[in-house]
Amino acid sequence: MKIYRGFIFFVFFLLLSLSFSVSSLFPQRNSKNVRLNFLLITIDTLRADRLSCYSREHLKTPNIDGLAEKGALFLKAFANTPTTLPSHTNILLGTTPLYHGVHDNSNFIVRNEFLTLAEHLKNYDYSTGAFVGAFPLDSRFGLTQGFDVYDDNYGSKSSQEFSYVERKAEVVVEKALNWLKNQNSPWFLWIHCFDPHQQYDPPEPFKTKYNSHLYDGEVAYVDFALGKLFNYLEEKNLKDETLVIFTADHGESLGQHGESTHGYFAYNSTIWVPLIISFPGINPKKIDQNVCHIDIYPTVCDILNIEKPSFLQGVSLLPAIKGKKLAKRAIYFESLYPYYSRGWAPLKGYIEGSAKFIDSPIPEFYDLEKDFDELENLAPAKELNAYRKKLEKVIEVQSYIGEKKAKQRIDKESLEKLRSLGYVSSPQISKKETFSKKDDLKVLLPYQTKLMKAMGSYHKGNIEEGVTLLKEIIAERKDFDLAYTYLATLYKEQSKLRLAVDILREGFGNNPLSYKIITTFGLFLTEVGQYDAAVEILEKGLDLIDYDPELWNYLGVVYWRKGDFEKALAAYQKALSLDNNYPIVFNNLGSLYLSLFLKTKNRSDHKKSLQNFKKAIELDPNYASAYNGLGGAYRLAGDVNAAIYCWEKAVELNPDFGFALYNLGSAYLEMGDKTQALARLTKYKEKHYHLLPPKEKDKLDALIQKCRQKQ
């Protein structure tokens, strides 16, 4: 049952006749029953001050400026959250996360029982289409409700390349226009462009023009892409029939307050957003009143002359557009990504008039009239009890009284894609009820910044600098779990596996409930052959999260290495029960059945080995390890040519793949092709010789010597 209070037919029209009329704002229409179309444009990660209609300091955005010149530009519009999915949920549900329960991009799905703006418009015979630019708004997260078309086709499902989980603004606009060309009024079209989000990589000529300010280049590119949309509306005479609302989901810190991007703090650098509302007959103006995302839904209802659902928490902005003063109120905001992904202190607050109160272990208070950039924290000199009580009241009033079910278990593919956008770190199981100053974001974010600097050093080839920075973090913050796992990774790059295990053991001792440390520690113990210890640690992970297929896969690997094939099989099957499209598990099952075949000579095991390797390749055609395993299975069946084909494919996908190079060298040598054998074995030695134990080095040298011997 949707949360929607319907009216009896005649009562509905009676109320409409008595309600505030907007008909005087619109030109005469041919049919009194024809409603305006509605175009909603949301730009991801867009600072208001990067639009020239807000500030001339940075760049020109002529197309967006053109929209502002013919509409109402709100100078003080705020997002209720600084992350993508919650902000769009706020807009499309007209309620804050306190009500709908979507607090972050991961682990949350919009509940079906809520009435979205798209569903509401469907009740008034609107055709509805959404065209989104990136994965945080993927259909699996529930905002599809009410849309006839929800286009989230980003192409490849790979999560390894940033470009695979977003698409350029021009592509989004083009797809939206193709849909629009086939619509009859009334229609609701939502266009979401992701481009200003990190990483900043605008296309030419914007990349060259803004080479020292690539973020600005992304904004300029989006403005260019929207020009085609606005031109189409002009050419088809749709401007006089369309309500247009333009906003951003949140801003971008760009280094302000020590935050490079967004998602942590809730300063105005990330929650101040542009908001432009334009419709036929409007008197263009700039409005200097506090408004927010949850006001969009009721405003649309008023302008389109349709009923406002009773659950809406925002206010209609139509009176402000008419020149009236909105009632004073507290605008709630929160930033809970660090809480849900790291276990750091939650951040909540409100804006009322010029006052902004941020509740955290180190509280903050700002006078936005005098200090919009929030440079001077007035909290130390203020009595804050009244502000805390006011925030408690806001939270009480806006919270949903029903059972909260928005938090959902997110699937592995979703986690990978969100991680590729920089959103997800490590799931946290233990949520503290009380927090001290050491848990405050202002205390912890500098360590996160140093962590990213360490990884930047690693990517630039300076591993030692990265190691030093991570050691510094650990020396100061024993509870910063990612510093241990990152340092272990760098030690592994230096072939210092024992040091990696030691640092993870220290990290586990200091952070026994860190899921990230537990899983990494288990993997590294497996690498050094401490299988029993690895099983013990990974089973502690199961006590925290038993629904992660990756953890079950790790357990399967350990049991396989121990030779306990029965337990390995059970662990892999459990992983597939949680994610049946997990190519790594199918690859590992292939290796398991191959091991069973070598032990039992049961042809059924060999057949299952082939099937699982092929399934892994089907799911991921670029999976070099699966090709190597399949080659091994063919070799054991006596099909050397098929084996060589698979191993060559593995090397094609990963030119330095040691197992495949060695297998090819051995196979070619067995077939008498010493030239090919020598080439593969020589490359194998060049890349992997330093990692081999003495006996393996001697064996490799003997094979190479055999290749060089004349017939």
584's CB contacts (< 8 A; 6+ apart) are 553, 616
What is the arithmetic mean of pLDDT over 526-538? Answer: 95
- Residue 706 scores a pLDDT above 80: yes
Query: Does residue 611 have a cis peptide bond before it, meaning omega lies within 30 degrees of 0?
Result: no
Alpha-carbon gap, residue 449 to 443, rounded angstroms: 11
Asked if residue 697 belongs to a domain, the reply is yes
What is the arithmetic mean of pLDDT over 102-106? Answer: 84
Q: Note the pLDDT of residue 109.
A: 83
Top pLDDT among 16 and 98 is at 98
Cβ atoms of 688 and 659 within 8 Å: the answer is: no
Strand partners, 37: 242
Query: Does residue 186 have a cis peptide bond before it, meaning omega lies within 30 degrees of 0?
Result: yes
Q: Note the pLDDT of residue 309.
A: 96
- Residue 408 scores a pLDDT above 80: no
Q: Residue 8 — very low, low, confident or very high, per pLDDT cuts 50/70/90? A: very low
Alpha-carbon gap, residue 349 to 1, rounded angstroms: 32
Q: Note the pLDDT of residue 9.
A: 29
Task: Work out the end-to-end distance of the chain between its first and last CA atoms, rounded to an integer number of angstroms.
Answer: 82
Q: Which two tokens stand for residue 318?
A: 């139509």
Cβ atoms of 640 and 667 within 8 Å: the answer is: yes
Q: Residue 54 — very low, low, confident or very high, per pLDDT cuts 50/70/90? A: very high
Classify residue 163 as exposed, middle or buried by CB count within 10 Å of its CB (0-12, 13-18, 19+).
middle
What is the arithmetic mean of pLDDT over 280-292? Answer: 96
- Residue 536 scores a pLDDT above 80: yes
Q: Note the pLDDT of residue 432.
A: 72
Strand partners, 41: 191, 246
Q: Which two tokens stand for residue 67?
A: 């929209």
Compute the half-sphere exposure of residue 302: CA atoms within 13 Å on the CB side of its CA.
Answer: 21
Helices (H) and strands (E) in the chain, counts: 29, 13
Q: Which two tokens stand for residue 212?
A: 């020292």
Residue at a domain's end among 356, 371, 398: 398
Asked if residue 626 belongs to a domain, the reply is no
Secondary structure element (H or E) that encloses residue 189, with its range: strand 187-193
- Residue 2 scores a pLDDT above 50: no
| 45-59, 222-236, 411-425, 667-681: least confident range | 411-425
Q: Residue 419 — very low, low, confident or very high, per pLDDT cuts 50/70/90? A: low
**pTM for the full predicted model:** 0.74
Q: Which two tokens stand for residue 255?
A: 């280094």
- Read off the pLDDT of residues 365-405 as tens digits, 9 standing for 90 and up: 999 999 999 999 999 999 999 999 999 999 999 998 665 55
Q: Which two tokens stand for residue 229?
A: 């949309």
Cβ atoms of 287 and 87 within 8 Å: the answer is: no
Alpha-carbon gap, residue 237 to 232, rounded angstroms: 8
Asked if residue 418 belongs to a domain, the reply is no
Q: Note the pLDDT of residue 157.
A: 41
Residues of the domain holding 681: 655-711
- Residue 498 scores a pLDDT above 80: yes
**What CATH number has the domain bearing residue 101?**
3.40.720.10
Task: Compute the residue count for the chain.
Answer: 711
Alpha-carbon gap, residue 6 to 306, rounded angstroms: 12
What is the arithmetic mean of pLDDT over 241-251? Answer: 97
The CA R_g of the chain, rounded to the nearest whole Å, is 29
Average pLDDT over the chain reads 88
Asked if residue 518 belongs to a domain, the reply is no
Asked if residue 543 belongs to a domain, the reply is no
Q: Note the pLDDT of residue 411.
A: 59
Q: Three-class SS string for 312-339?
A: CCCCCCHHHHCCCCCCCCCEEEEECHHH
Alpha-carbon gap, residue 245 to 241, rounded angstroms: 13
What percent of the chain shows pLDDT beyond 70?
A: 89
Helix (H, G, I), strand (E, B) or coil at 307: coil
Contacts 24+ apart (CB under 8 A), 234-238: 238/37
Residue at a domain's end among 398, 413, 445: 398
Alpha-carbon gap, residue 107 to 424, rounded angstroms: 10
Alpha-carbon gap, residue 299 to 316, rounded angstroms: 4
Q: Residue 165 — very low, low, confident or very high, per pLDDT cuts 50/70/90? A: low
Asked if residue 375 belongs to a domain, the reply is yes
Top pLDDT among 159 and 48 is at 48
- Residue 659 scores a pLDDT above 70: yes
Asked if residue 201 belongs to a domain, the reply is yes
Q: Note the pLDDT of residue 154.
A: 66
Q: Where are the alpha helices (H) located in 142-285, listed in sequence order?
A: 169-180, 206-209, 214-235, 268-271
Cβ atoms of 230 and 222 within 8 Å: the answer is: no
Top pLDDT among 202 and 138 is at 202
The separation between CA 212 and the C-alpha centre of its own chain, rounded to angstroms, equals 26
- Residue 113 scores a pLDDT above 60: yes
Determine how β-strand 72-78 pairs with β-strand 285-292.
parallel
* Sign for the pseudo-dihedral over CA of 90, 95, 96, 98: negative
Q: Residue 176 — very low, low, confident or very high, per pLDDT cuts 50/70/90? A: very high
- Residue 29 scores a pLDDT above 60: no
Q: Note the pLDDT of residue 392.
A: 97
Asked if residue 480 belongs to a domain, the reply is no
Compute the half-sphere exposure of residue 661: CA atoms within 13 Å on the CB side of its CA.
Answer: 20
What is the arithmetic mean of pLDDT over 409-433? Answer: 56
Domain count, the chain: 2
DSSP assignments along 656-698, one per residue: T-HHHHHHHHHHHHHHT-HHHHHHHHHHHHHHHGGGS-HHHHH
Top pLDDT among 551 and 30 is at 551
Residue at a domain's end among 347, 380, 398: 398
Determine how β-strand 242-248 pairs with β-strand 275-278.
antiparallel
